A and B are shown apart, each in its own frame.
Chain A
Amino acid sequence: MAAIIETSGLTRSYGDICALKPLDLCVPEGEWLTVMGHSGSGKSTLLNLLGGLDRPTGGSIQVRGTDLASLSEDGLARFRRDCVGIIFQQHHLIPYLTALENVMMSQYFHSVPDEAEARHALERVGLGHRLKNRPGELSGGEQQRVCIARAIINSPRLLLGDEPTGNLDHKSTTMVMELLRELRDEDRFSIVMVTHNQEVAAWGDRTIHMDDGCLVREERIKAC
């Protein structure tokens, strides 16, 4: 199967601190990869590099054949807009916009808003009845589902999750994970998800463990 992500000797340093040591990684299309490790092990650095939010200081990083290191700022913005969806632990929803408007905002920055499509995306994540509610009026799990709808609305080929269930209870976590799996099976996108939680990691196809900026261990949970 073709690789959606290929890194070779990927490094990221902040001054003297090497947050990511030379990393070779390959993620096939449609795979769900989870990244585990302690705080400061380089998980979020890797995620930021994969999402085009940061630039590597060494090595190469190719997503769908595009070398992210060679892209200009505008090119990176286009890459993020077209290829990537990101789910954050803190949701980062706009508090004064409704759930529907938050999803439409993502459409606006991508191309043009389409209310019917945004409504359909929220219905897919089970929030058809919460369209007009603002984030403050939604539970943590519901907010995270709005984030998922926002992340998938532009049909990205790569979904990145930075501890998406970090502040959810067990029931909400299961619900969100089931939803992600269902959407992944339907839309055939790849997922790279950072987590501390072993149970959450078990939802993926493969897990890599990181420590001090290095990939230390890799385990396949199920065949892709």
Chain B
Amino acid sequence: MTALKVIPQLLCWAVLVPVMSRSLTGMATAVTAAAGFVVGVAGENLLLAYVGGELPFRPLRGVCGVIFLLLWGASVWALYRRGSKGSDAEAVSSPGPLAAGLAASATGVLAGALTLCRLAPLDGGAVRLVPYLSLACAGAVLALAATFPARYLPERLAPRGIPLLALVVSALMVMACSVQRLDIFSPLSMEVMKFIHDFVHQFFESMLIPDHPFFRSDVWGYIGLLFSDKVGLWGGLALWYLPVLFIALALRLERLPSVAHIRQGAARRKLLASFIHERRLRLVAPLFALVLLTGAAYQSRFPATEYWDPKPVEVTATPAGQIVIPKKGEMDLEDGKLHKFSYSQGGRQARFFVMLTPAGQLVTTLDACAICQPEGYGQAGNAVICYYCKTLIPLETVGKPGGCNPVPVPCSVKGDAVVIDAMTLLNTWESTVQVTAHGKGMGK
């Protein structure tokens, strides 16, 4: 099962190395990439073993964000330079052995670290010795074996310059997005949604659009589309795909070499046709990168990780309006797991969970945050995850307000039971949770 988890990453690696070694400097590239992979695996495992917590993931996530931004910059540059003679693609096409080696080893280090994170235990700590060594060996062997298929890769299909960068970054994105803590697509979508929400809100606030009485309800329906949950997804997908589409467009619009010096019409057309054919072949790399990015987005939207997500247990209140949940009843509230409950009264409903934090405190929070739609939380090791925005909340901060944290509900521990005021619970739910046409407040 452990080996199956890293198959997508190793497949990406197996595709990446032959392309890199064909496009850069052959065998030397494969060797440096293999060494880089082993270093990446070892380095990340050391971080997991000796630093622990969220820290080993943060620099990796940062690097993923930076290389995605780099791809954005390169794509805009490629589009800007598309028509000029001796354009960027040519300039970057033949890096020296040192640059090629650096690029291959950096890619290897990153790929190794990202792949190891897929095996990292959810509750922290290093990857066990056997999977760790197996992964390092598999990555190195795949990289070295890649020199064989690389020989059969047609020269004209080997991408160079910015298209190669697009392919490398897309493959690394696939590796990153399959690990919840390294995923950058979900945060990107969330940021887009927040930006659009804030923009529309500020637009209204600044009185540029008159308020409700001047609008018919169907007009508001259209404006409401900007607040739907799909806005973030589509906006995120646009930002996700645009750099590669820009690169494809730049290649498509690239000026063909002049053939005016050839007098014979047929020979001139034939040379022109060969240039067009070559330009068309160079589109293969960006198109393949699009496929990889789609895979990355899919992994981000539908992660393979299984979360602890119990069905909410219906609770009732005492005549005094108190919800009393015994600490050791049908379930053990102090087992460190998330326990979900739902309460309804007179058509009003609320969903909440109780859990013991690592600090040893029993906390009660809504099964929703104040920002997202109330799709609830699941537990993954030492964090809970918001199903809507895929944000991981460390258990240490559960019970504290703010951001995408579950909204805290005041509770008290009396003897062997947790006591919550039912009215406070319902009021907190109704005043803080985003009620939408779809969710109607209860999400699930």
Contact = CB atoms under 8 A, between A and B. Distances in A.
B276 interface: yes
B266 interface: yes
Interface string A147-169: 00000011100000000000000
A: contact size bracket:
10 to 19
B264 interface: yes
Interface string A93-130: 00000000000000100111010010000000000000
Interface-central residue, B266, B270, B273, B276, by most chain A CB under 10 Å: B266
A131 to B, nearest CB: 17
B270 A110 contact: yes
B151 interface: no
A155 B266 contact: yes
A111 B264 contact: no
Nearest to B267: A155
B270 A117 contact: no
A111 to B, nearest CB: 4
Contacts of A114: 265, 269
Interface in A74-104: 82
Contacts of A154: 266
B265 A155 contact: yes
Most buried by A among B264, B267, B270, B276: B270
A156 B404 CA distance: 73
Interface in B232-280: 264-267, 269-270, 272-273, 276
Contacts of B276: 112
A71 to B, nearest CB: 18
A110 B266 contact: yes
B280 to A, nearest CB: 12
A153 B267 CA distance: 11
Interface in A48-72: none
Nearest to A113: B269
Contacts of A112: 269, 272-273, 276
Contacts of A107: 269
A172 B239 CA distance: 66
Contacts of A117: 265, 269
Contact of B264 (A82, A110, A155): A155
A195 B267 CA distance: 31
A153 B265 CA distance: 8
Nearest to A81: B270
A64 to B, nearest CB: 15
A124 to B, nearest CB: 11
A93 B267 CA distance: 24
Contacts of A153: 265-266
A163 to B, nearest CB: 26
A82 B264 CA distance: 13
Q: Which among B265, B267, B272, B276 has the highest number of chain A CB atoms within 10 Å?
A: B265
Contacts of B270: 82, 110-111
Contacts of A111: 266, 269-270, 272-273
Nearest to B264: A155
A112 B266 CA distance: 9
Interface in B131-162: none
Contacts of B264: 155
Interface centre among B267, B269, B270, B272, by most A CB within 10 Å? B269
Interface string B111-122: 000000000000
Nearest to B275: A112
Contacts of A82: 270
Contacts of B265: 114, 117, 153, 155
Interface in A164-210: none
Nearest to B266: A155
Nearest to A116: B265
Nearest to A121: B265
A174 B425 CA distance: 103
B281 to A, nearest CB: 16
Contacts of A110: 266, 269-270, 273
A165 B264 CA distance: 28
A107 B265 CA distance: 10
B206 to A, nearest CB: 55
**Residue among A107, A110, A112, A154 facing the most chain B CB atoms (10 A cut-off):** A112
A212 B266 CA distance: 39
Contacts of A155: 264-267
A88 to B, nearest CB: 21
Given A107-B269, A110-B273, 16 more contacts: A82-B270, A110-B269, A110-B270, A111-B266, A111-B269, A111-B270, A111-B273, A112-B273, A114-B269, A117-B265, A153-B265, A153-B266, A154-B266, A155-B264, A155-B265, A155-B267
Interface of B: 264-267, 269-270, 272-273, 276
Closest 6 CB pairs of A and B: A111-B273, A155-B266, A111-B269, A154-B266, A117-B265, A111-B270
Interface of A: 82, 107, 110-112, 114, 117, 153-155
22 contacts: A107-B269, A110-B266, A110-B269, A110-B273, A111-B269, A111-B272, A111-B273, A112-B269, A112-B272, A112-B273, A112-B276, A114-B265, A114-B269, A117-B265, A117-B269, A153-B265, A153-B266, A154-B266, A155-B264, A155-B265, A155-B266, A155-B267
